[in-house]
Structures are given as structure tokens and as C-alpha cells.
């Protein structure tokens, strides 16, 4: 029988990539609290980012949201005298405050079981992740063990964030009246024909060429654009302001600006669309659970390491596809991420859309066969006790 998991968890999050870091941390915190009935405290340094994806958030130093205690993590915060939690997570190597580290040490001295200390790493599909997941190191000053937890796509990694009822909720949404009601709430006209695409990403010089291709293509496209960096870039390309509700149409393409969405609504958007352009880590994972074709704009790194990560994922993702579709997806993704012309590859990929859609469903089912990230974190603690 498994031991009872440690009850008190602290998650520390510094907001770097707008909503990706806080998006992952907030989903994890909510899932630990709701599915495992754990006492979760989330420390975040930029409350406005959380408020954007979870509107009930208020500008308060401390508040309760969805069963999670949310606290503002200020640069000068002093944790002296505060008892460290049973489990402490540094999200993406954000580094714990020195006074909290001392609290960890004091807790380890007083308790029979030292607190679990995790560094939650960034998601990667690279092969080396399998061997590094779960490895530990001893902090040179504190003498405490820190474990490196790598999310990933293989069974030997830390898995992906996935609430237990997520896919059931997705299928009910797609097959029920909620989808139509949601699109209507966003102002999407019922006569919209052709492909329905969501467009979320970073600034991208490949965008103008792709827009021209969509305008001149054979298939009508309705493209939904939320506020953000790519939307601002798009406004410059079109020389027009795109406020929520705005529409712009040329040829076969209709662009429609939509409001910024909460995490729940964003899941619904991914489920409602035929194809999703996503960015970063959080929306990338959620798009895979949507089981729809996707195009990922990975967070750019100066040394080009992001392209190695992109190729590693594509190697896994395109297995089992026909050569034509595998090649078109690979070149389409690489072109999109390097700001290059992608029109011809888009045409090949979209001609094979039925195969791509079937593959997306199979890929999602394969990922779903492994335990999720929250479950693996809890199980790691249980088996160590």
C-alpha cells in the first residue's frame, strides 16, 4: 500500500515567458489541490500574469483561489521564521530565496524526513531527458538533496500535465452544445466555412507570406487571434488595429480578433478549432491534449538550442506518418520557427489533413497511456517515504 503523500506543498514561480511559466505552475497547483486534496501554496512574482489566465485573481498579497493559497513573491521577501513545506518545487530553476533555503535546512534538522526539494525543469523531447529525470544532487551549503524532475513524452520521464477528467471533458465539449455556445460567445459567425484556426505565437516574419497564401488558397480559413505579441506584430503587417471583435478579410481569409482567454476558455478554443498555432510550453501541451493538428512556435534561445529541441520533438511526433505528410510537417514547423516562407509546405500538409487529424488523435491516446506529471510527483514522494 502506498504511503500517504506529504500534505503541504510550496511551488515557486518566476514569470519569464509571459504566461507559459505561470500557466504550468497554476495548472499543477490546482491539480494537486483538487485531485490529491493537498495543501498547496503558490508563490508568484508577477500576479498580473496569473490574473490574465485566471480572472478571479485579485491584487492581494495572499488569497485563496480554487483551493490554492496564492502569495506574492517579492524580491526582498524574508522567509525567516516560516516553516518550509513538506514538498518544495522550484519551477524552471527559479532558485529559492536564501531565507527559505535556511527554513528548509531547519525543517530537515527538526523532522525525521527531510523535505522533498524538486527542480521542475522545462519540457523536452530529447533522448537524454530519460536518463536525467529523477537524478539528485546535494546542495553544497545546505547538505540537502534536490531532485531534478523533467516533464517529457517518454514513460521514463516526468510526464505531462493532465487532469484526470481532461479528455472526457474535451469529448463532451466537442460532441455537445457547449462548442457552439462558446464560439457564439466569442462572436464567431455560424456561417464561418473551411478551416477554423487559432493563431497564438511570438513575432514572426514568416506570417505575412503565410497570410498571403491563405488569402489566395483554395480553402476558406477563419483565423482567430488573441491579444499578445503575435497580434501586435500582425497589426503592424496589416496596418490596422485588431481589438477583440475586429474582423479583417481578404480573399479566402478572414481574421478575427478575440479576447484574451482564461485557461479554461483557452482549452475550449483548442478543442473547437481544426488546427492550432501555439507557443511556449503550456499551450503546446494543451494543444496535444486537444488531439488536433498543431504548429508549435518554440521559445527562442540565442544559441539555437531551441531548434535542437524542436527537431527532437518532430522526430517523435512524425513517426508513423506518410513520408509526404511527415516531411511537410517538419519543414512547416522549422520554417515557422525560423521566419521562412512556409506556403508550399502548408499546402502539402493541409491536403493531408485527414491523416494529420487521425495521427493527432493517436498521438494523444499514446501520451494518455502514461501517468501525468502531478501523479508522478506524488508517487515519487510516496515511494520514497
179 and 289 inside one domain: yes
Of the listed 45, 121, 265, 281, which one is catalytic?
A: 281
Q: Closest by alpha carbon to 371, among 117, 35, 89, 54?
A: 35
pLDDT computed for residue 247 by the predictor: 93
Name which of 38-52, 69-83, 254-268, 282-296 the model is least confident about: 69-83
204 and 351 inside one domain: yes
Predicted confidence (pLDDT) per residue in 224-265, tens digit: 999 999 999 999 999 999 999 999 999 999 999 999 999 999
21 an active-site residue? yes
In a domain, 373, yes or no: no
Q: Please state the rounded mean pLDDT for residues 207-232.
A: 94
Mean pLDDT of the chain: 93
pLDDT computed for residue 175 by the predictor: 92
pLDDT band at 1 (very low <50, low <70, confident <90, very high): very low
In a domain, 314, yes or no: yes
Tell me the CATH number at 90.
3.40.50
Predicted confidence (pLDDT) per residue in 8-31, tens digit: 999 999 998 668 899 999 999 999
Q: Which residue has the cell 462572436?
A: 187
In a domain, 220, yes or no: yes
Q: Please state the rounded mean pLDDT for residues 204-228.
A: 94
81 and 223 inside one domain: no
Cα distance between residue 213 and residue 329, in whole Å: 16
355 an active-site residue? no
**Helix or strand run (H / E) with residue 262:** none
Name which of 10-24, 58-72, 371-385 the model is least confident about: 10-24
pLDDT computed for residue 190 by the predictor: 59
- How many distinct structural domains can be found in the chain? 2
Tell me: pLDDT of 77 over 50. Answer: yes
Of the listed 21, 86, 267, 372, which one is catalytic?
A: 21
Predicted confidence (pLDDT) per residue in 324-358, tens digit: 999 999 999 999 999 998 888 999 999 999 999 99
Q: Which residue has the cell 520557427?
A: 337
Displacement of CA 260 from its chain's centroid (Å): 16
Residue 88 contacts residue 96 (beta carbons within 8 Å): yes
Q: Closest by alpha carbon to 377, among 133, 207, 21?
A: 133
147 and 199 inside one domain: no
Tell me: pLDDT of 4 over 90. Answer: no
136 and 186 inside one domain: no
138 and 182 inside one domain: no
266 and 361 inside one domain: yes
Domain containing 79: what range?
8-159
pLDDT computed for residue 303 by the predictor: 84
108 and 216 inside one domain: no
In degrees rounded to 5, what are phi and psi of residue 359? -65, -40
pLDDT computed for residue 331 by the predictor: 96
Q: Are strands 136-138 and 145-149 parallel, antiparallel or unpaired?
A: antiparallel
pTM of the predicted protein model: 0.95
> DSSP 3-state assignment of 256?
strand
Q: Please state the rounded mean pLDDT for residues 143-165.
A: 96
Alpha helix segments (H runs only) across the chain: 20-36, 47-53, 98-110, 128-132, 166-175, 178-185, 207-216, 229-238, 263-272, 282-289, 305-317, 323-337, 343-351, 353-368, 373-384
pLDDT band at 121 (very low <50, low <70, confident <90, very high): very high
188 and 299 inside one domain: yes
Tell me the CATH number at 186.
3.40.50.2000
**Helix or strand run (H / E) with residue 369:** none
Amino acid at each position: 500500500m502506498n504511503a500517504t503523500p506529504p500534505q503541504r506543498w510550496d511551488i515557486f514561480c518566476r514569470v519569464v515567458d509571459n504566461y507559459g511559466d505561470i500557466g504550468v505552475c497554476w495548472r499543477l497547483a490546482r491539480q494537486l489541490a483538487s485531485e490529491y486534496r493537498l495543501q498547496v501554496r503558490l508563490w508568484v512574482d508577477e500576479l498580473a500574469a496569473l490574473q490574465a489566465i485566471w480572472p478571479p485573481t485579485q491584487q492581494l498579497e495572499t488569497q485563496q483561489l480554487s483551493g490554492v493559497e496564492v502569495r506574492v513573491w517579492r524580491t526582498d521577501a524574508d522567509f525567516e521564521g516560516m516553516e518550509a513545506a513538506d514538498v518544495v518545487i522550484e519551477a524552471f530553476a527559479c532558485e529559492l530565496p536564501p531565507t527559505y533555503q535556511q527554513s528548509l535546512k531547519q525543517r530537515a534538522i527538526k523532522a525525521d524526513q527531510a523535505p522533498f526539494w524538486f527542480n521542475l525543469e522545462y519540457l523536452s523531447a530529447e533522448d537524454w531527458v530519460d536518463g536525467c529525470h529523477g537524478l539528485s544532487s546535494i546542495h553544497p551549503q545546505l547538505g540537502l538533496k534536490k531532485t531534478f524532475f523533467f516533464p517529457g513524452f517518454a514513460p521514463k520521464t516526468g510526464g505531462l500535465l493532465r487532469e484526470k477528467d481532461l479528455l472526457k471533458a474535451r469529448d463532451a465539449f466537442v460532441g455537445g452544445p457547449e462548442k457552439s455556445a462558446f464560439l457564439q460567445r466569442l462572436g464567431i459567425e455560424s456561417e464561418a466555412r473551411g478551416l477554423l484556426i487559432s493563431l497564438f505565437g511570438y513575432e514572426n516574419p514568416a506570417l505575412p507570406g503565410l497570410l498571403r497564401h491563405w488569402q489566395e488558397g483554395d480553402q476558406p480559413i477563419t483565423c482567430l487571434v488573441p491579444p499578445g505579441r503575435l497580434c501586435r506584430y500582425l497589426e503592424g503587417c496589416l496596418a490596422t488595429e485588431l481589438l477583440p471583435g475586429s474582423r479583417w478579410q481578404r480573399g479566402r481569409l478572414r481574421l478575427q480578433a478575440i479576447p484574451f482567454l482564461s485557461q479554461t476558455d483557452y482549452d475550449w478554443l483548442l478543442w473547437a478549432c481544426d488546427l492550432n498555432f501555439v507557443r511556449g510550453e503550456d499551450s503546446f501541451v494543451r494543444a496535444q491534449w486537444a488531439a488536433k493538428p498543431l504548429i508549435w512556435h518554440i521559445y527562442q534561445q540565442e544559441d539555437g538550442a531551441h531548434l535542437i529541441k524542436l527537431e527532437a520533438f518532430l522526430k517523435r511526433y512524425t513517426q508513423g506518418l506518410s513520408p509526404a505528410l511527415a516531411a511537410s510537417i517538419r519543414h512547416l514547423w522549422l520554417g515557422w520557427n525560423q521566419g521562412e516562407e512556409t506556403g508550399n509546405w502548408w499546402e502539402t500538409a493541409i491536403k493531408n489533413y485527414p491523416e494529420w487529424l487521425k495521427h493527432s488523435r493517436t498521438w494523444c491516446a499514446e501520451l494518455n497511456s502514461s501517468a501525468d506529471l502531478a501523479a508522478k510527483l506524488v508517487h515519487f514522494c510516496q515511494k520514497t517515504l
